[in-house]
Each structure stands twice: as structure tokens, then as C-alpha cells.
Amino acid sequence: MKSLFKRPPRNRLAATRRSSRPVHTQPPPHPSLAIFSRLCVEGPFPAALALLPDLAAAGLRADPVSLTRLVKLCVRHGTAGDGRLIHRHVEAHGQLSHYSGGAGGGIFVSNSLVSMYAKFGLLDDALRLFDRMPERNVVTWTTVVAALANADGRKEEALRFLVAMWRDGVAPNAYTFSSVLGACGTPGVLAALHASTVKVGLDSDVFVRSSLIDAYMKLGDLDGGRRVFDEMVTRDLVVWNSIIAGFAQSGDGVGAIELFMRMKDAGFSANQGTLTSVLRACTGMVMLEAGRQVHAHVLKYERDLILHNALLDMYCKCGSLEDAEALFHRMPQRDVISWSTMISGLAQNGKSAEALRVFDLMKSEGVAPNRITMVGVLFACSHAGLVEDGWYYFRSMKKLFGIQPEREHHNCMVDLLGRAGKLDEAVEFIRDMNLEPDAVIWRTLLGACRMHKSGNLAAYAAREILKLEPDDQGARVLLSNTYADLRQWTDAEKSWKAMRDRGMKKEPGRSWIELEKHVHVFIAGDLSHPCSDTIVQELNRLIGRISALGYVPQTEFVLQDLAIEQKEDLLKYHSEKMAIAFGTMHAVGGKPIRIMKNLRICGDCHAFAKLVSKSEGRMIIIRDPVRFHHFQDGACSCGDYW
DNA sequence: ATAGGGTTAG
């Protein structure tokens, strides 16, 4: 150590040759600085922090290594105030340039301060310091780019900073690319950035790859993500997690689970992130049994809230409220998402009163609701016909919780009023709201009109939808049928022609059912399932049994112009009926039959399921895109109100 | 001194 402070013997060749680095002359540090440095290494750290203002007042500069170490400690302990204190020392007497210049490791200090501000979410402070720095290197730029890419609503800025750094002559590295790829808002930008990574030879970096996969998937380009994944030779766990998450999030639960199996074959074991995505895949496919298996692995991670929330949601969306509630009460911590999940889960499963009780409990525990919580609360009101409560929550959410009602909340209100048969009020609500109504709102109104058989208003809503989305086939079909019902044949003919001209095809109804951890898909009118013959036999048997209970096919649910026999045939092979028949054929023990479908259940299938639950003495649970139907002993949890 | 993957609604 001592030699550091001695001038090197200039005239002795051996000595100069031995040291490859130039040796600087340095005076011994001021005693206060020496104490400060020691405190930064050995602690107590508050004492080191307390010393900073005195050092600055005495015009003394703390050494960069110690300061950087202190900044890191502030980040670790979450003490942003202390971070600011260090920043003040750095800026005292105009010394910022010393702590952000290239030589002597000074820039490490400023970079760590920028990073500190970013980690505390104090982005504007980070940017202010960034602007004041006389020099910036790739780390400085990357820190800011990453912070902007991760903050919501500032993705374009992240891209602008990337361009600016490029122009400033600082080349992005793998850190920069892996951060900025998440900020791509369009396929074009992503393609350009992907090309850049190739050009600078960084596209084989695993961090860059996993970000690429994630970016493609988030933009809905599953094939793009898959291509990057397939091209990889060495994958790590995060890469696997990225692709699995991408599939799970885009609704391909089967694909996600297949990849998960491959991941295990490749010798990786799941971590919390993997399990969360696998649970989401199970949730999407209503794979309760598979989800339960995952639950066994979740037990190791008792403190992981995200994972537990995913598990909770899986039980809710698989219609198993007993499991959901048991888990909810056992969870060591609960955050807004846990509460929101439970509230929506109860509401969707027809337990609105309980959902509102849980909401009260949430408030009494001091957890602040967010806008998604309020969607669940309003949903609960609307599906229980609690018009007054709904109005109350809608009107007071701003004042009570500081949440401004947005589009989704207005939509809930239209649903609330419409469902309750207050169609005029719903229309009035749409007219008076401060937002321009979109197709979603009109579709909600349309649903209410159908429920309450209000033909004229339905046609009005359908026309509004078609103004905004001319290809909405549901609205088009409904409009044609309304005209037909009203015997307005010219209009009906015009509407049918419009459909033919657009070559519109109805999205086929699909139902999924899990059997022994495999998912079987049924498509309306498609008899290509390997067991189709026996399924048709079983369907006939069920129809025979429920006919005795009064079942008559309700052909008005076929929105096509066909002969009655053809309509009956179409009805008979609705996907959920086939799935129910498949379920009753393979029924074991007293387990409910669980089915998920992509469209909302039609009135005929609803009646069918109710009667089958009675004739077969078995519970049937059907999840449609919006809510659940628990059929038991001839009745449904939705109270025939959906 | 800088980086990638996971949860609620519609």
C-alpha cells in the first residue's frame, strides 16, 4: 500500500517496466476522508452518511469507490433520502464533473446515482441528473433507457433515448438491447431493432433473445417468438419461461404446457415464474386437475404473492370456489390483486353478495382498491341486479378511492342498467357519459336488449356497432334476424347480402373439457372427434332422458334462416352439448363436469345443461368468456340471468 | 455503475 503514495523511481527501468499501469502521484488522504472510507466499508453506515455534509462543507471530496458503495446500500435499504444526501455531496461546490467524468472511476458515482433514482421510481430525478452530467457512457444511457422502458407510458421516450445515444456516438450493448426491446410498440419497430441486434452481432446473447421472444409474443406475433426460440442452441431457464409465458398469455394453454414438458425433458426445473405461467395456462383451459398438481409445487414458495395470486385465480376460473376461498384465507399476505381476484371470482361464479362482503372486508383491512377491483365490484352488482349499489359505487369511487371511472366502469354500468331491464336508462347513460361510446359499450347494450327482447333497440345498437366495426358478424346476424322477425324482408335481404358480400363466417363455437389431464376440444357441428359415434349416442340418450323432463329444442337460438329440422340439428351439435355428453360418458365419482367455451352459452344449451344436471344427478360447470354457470339439480347459479 | 421471464378486468 505504502508504495502507492511514493513517487516511482523514474530512472530505474526495471521498476517502470514491471508495472503495466501508470502510477499516479497521490497525496495522503485527509484524515476525515480516511475515516469516511473506512466507515463505508465497515460501517456503521449512518455515520458515513452523517459525515458527508461536513466533508462537502470543508471542500473535501469523498472517494468514488466509497460513494458508489454507499449508494448501493441506499438502494438495498430503500432509503431514497440518503441517496439524495449523497447526490448533494456530489453536486456541492460544482463538483459533479469530478464524479461523472471518465477518469478515476468518477462516472461510476453518477451512474450509480442515476440507477438509484430509477430503482426508486424517481425517474424525473434520474433524468435531471442525466441532463446535468458532462459525460455519459453506455452504462449511463442504458440505465435511463431501461428505466423508461420499464415505466408505463414512457416507452416512446425509451426509444427516443436509444436513437439519441446512437447519435451521440455511444453504441448500445446487449444490456441496452435487452432493456429496450420491451419498449417496442409496433411490429415495425421490433423488426428494426431485431435487425440491429443481428447487425451488431448481439442477437445470440441469451438476454437479448429472451427479450426478443417476449417482445414478439407481447405484440401477438406467436410465430415470431417461436422462431427466435427455435433458432436457439443454448437456452436458459428465463428463455424457457419467456416462451411459456408468451403462450400462456396469448391463450394457447395447451401449447404452453407442451413447452413446459419439453423444458423439463431438457433438464430444467420450474421456478416461481414458470409455475405462474403454467398455472395461467391451466386457468385458461380450465384444467383443474393439472392445476392442483402445480399447487403441490407452489407450496415451496409460501411467500411468493404473484404465484399465489395465479393459483387463486386458477381455482376461481376453474369454478372451484371452495379451493379458492380456502387458499385465500390461508395466504400469508394478500395484495390488491389477491382481493380483486377473489371478488371477481365470486361474482363470476354467481356469488355477488359474497363478493361485496369480501370488498367490505378488503376496505376494513385498509387495502386500497384499484380500477380493476372496481370492475369486479360493479360486475357483482350488475349480475345480482343490485342497481342501487352499483350506482352508489360508480358515483362514489372517485371520492372514496380516488379512482376516476373509465371506459370499463361505464361499460359495467350499461350492463347493470340493461341487465336489470332499465333499457331506457342505459341509453340515457350512454348519451350522457363523457366518453365517446365504443363498440364494446354498444355490444353490452345489445346483450341487454336480447335478454329483454327489445327488438327495436337491439337493431339500433347493432347499427351503432356496425358503424364502428363493419365486420362485427354478431351485430350483422342479429340485425338480419331482427328484420326477419319484424317481417321487414327488404331490410333483412339487404343485411344478408351485406354478410355474403363481406364473406363473413361465424366464429365456430368451441368447448374444452379436461379428462385425465388432457384437454378435448369440441367444435360446433364438427363430428371429427375420434369418439363422435359414441358421443352422438350419448347425446341421443341424454335428450331422451330430458325430454321426459320437458326439454324441447329452442330453435329460436339458431340465428340462421333454415328449416326447423336443420335448426334442431345445429342446436344438437353445439359444442357444449357434445362436451357435456363426453363428460357424462366419462364421469367418475361425484366430480363435476367442467367445461370452458369460447362463446357465450345459448339459451337452449343452458336449458339442456340444467336438465342434464338433474337427470344425471351430476353438477355441470360451464365457463363462458364472461361468467360461470354452475348447473345442479335442474337449476343454474346464474338464476337464468346472464 | 447497466439487462431478460410470472398475478387481477375487458
The bases of strand B with some atom under 7 A from any protein CB are 1-10
Q: How many CB atoms lie within 10 A of CB A490?
A: 8
Give yes or no for a contact between A459 and A482, defined as CB atoms under 8 angstroms apart.
yes
Q: Which helix (H) or strand (E) holds A352?
A: helix A352-364
Specify the pLDDT at position A15. 39
Give the mean model confidence (pLDDT) for residues A134-148.
Answer: 97
pLDDT of A8 reads 35
How much is the mean pLDDT over chain A? 90
For nucleotide B6, the protein residue with its alpha carbon nearest to C1' is A273
Whether CB of A274 is under 7 Å from strand B: the answer is yes
Cell 380456502, residue? Answer: A326
A203 touches strand B (CB under 7 A): no
Establish whether the CB of A352 is closer than 7 Å to any nucleic acid atom in strand B: no
Over residues A631-637, the mean pLDDT reads 92
| Nine-digit cell string for A429 | 347513460
| Higher pLDDT pick, A30 / A597 | A597
* Å between CA of A21 and C1' of B7: 52
Greatest alpha-carbon pair distance for chain A in Å reads 113
Alpha-carbon dihedral angle through residues A578, A583, A585, A588, given to the nearest 10 degrees? 180
Q: What is the DSSP letter of A610?
A: H
Greater model confidence, A2 or A86: A86
Sheet holding A620-623, edge to edge: A518-523, A510-515, A593-597, A620-623, A628-632, A635-636
Measure the N-to-C terminal CA separation of chain A; round to a whole number of Å.
80
Give the CA angle between residues A349, A351, A356 to the nearest 5°. 125
**No. of H helices and E strands in chain A?**
34, 6
Q: Which of A55-69, A374-388, A463-477 has the lowest mean pLDDT?
A: A463-477
A241 is near strand B: CB distance < 7 Å = yes
pTM, full prediction: 0.86
- Concatenated DSSP letters for A487-555? T-HHHHHHHHHHHHHHT--PPPPEEEEEETTEEEEEETT---STTHHHHHHHHHHHHHHHHTTT----G
CA–CA separation, A595 and A534 (whole Å): 19
The conformation of residue A62, written as its DSSP 8-state character, comes to P
How do residues A266-295 score in pLDDT, each as one tens digit? 999 999 999 999 999 999 999 999 999 999
Helix (H, G, I), strand (E, B) or coil at A280: helix
Question: What digits encode the pLDDT tens for the residues A565-618?
Answer: 877 888 889 999 999 999 999 987 788 999 999 888 888 999 999 999 999 999
Between A165-179, A271-285, A414-428, A623-637, the lowest mean confidence (pLDDT) is in A623-637
Q: What is the CA A229 to C1' B5 distance in angstroms?
A: 13
Helix or strand holding residue A632 (H, E): strand A628-632
Task: Answer yes or no: is A204 CB < 7 A from strand B.
Answer: no
Residue A206's nearest nucleotide, by CA–C1', is B4
List of residues 6+ apart from A461 with CB closer than 8 A: A442, A443, A445, A446, A449, A475
Asked whether residue A272's C-beta has any atom of DNA/RNA strand B within 7 A, the reply is: yes
The answer to whether the C-beta of A179 is closer than 7 A to strand B is yes
pLDDT of residue A70 exceeding 60, the answer is yes
Least confident among A158-162, A481-485, A638-642 = A481-485
Q: How far apart are CA A519 and CA A27, in angstroms?
A: 75
Tell me the pLDDT band of A24, cut-offs 50, 70 and 90.
low
The x, y and z cell numbers of residue A265, run together, are 425433458
Question: For residues A377 and A369, is the Cβ–Cβ distance under 8 A?
Answer: yes
A104: pLDDT strictly greater than 80: no
Q: Which pLDDT tens digit goes with each residue over A382-399?
A: 989 999 999 999 999 999
Please classify residue A178 by burial: count the beta carbons closer than 10 Å to its beta carbon, then call 0-12 exposed, 13-18 middle and 19+ buried: buried
Look at strands A593-597 and A510-515 and give their pairing: antiparallel
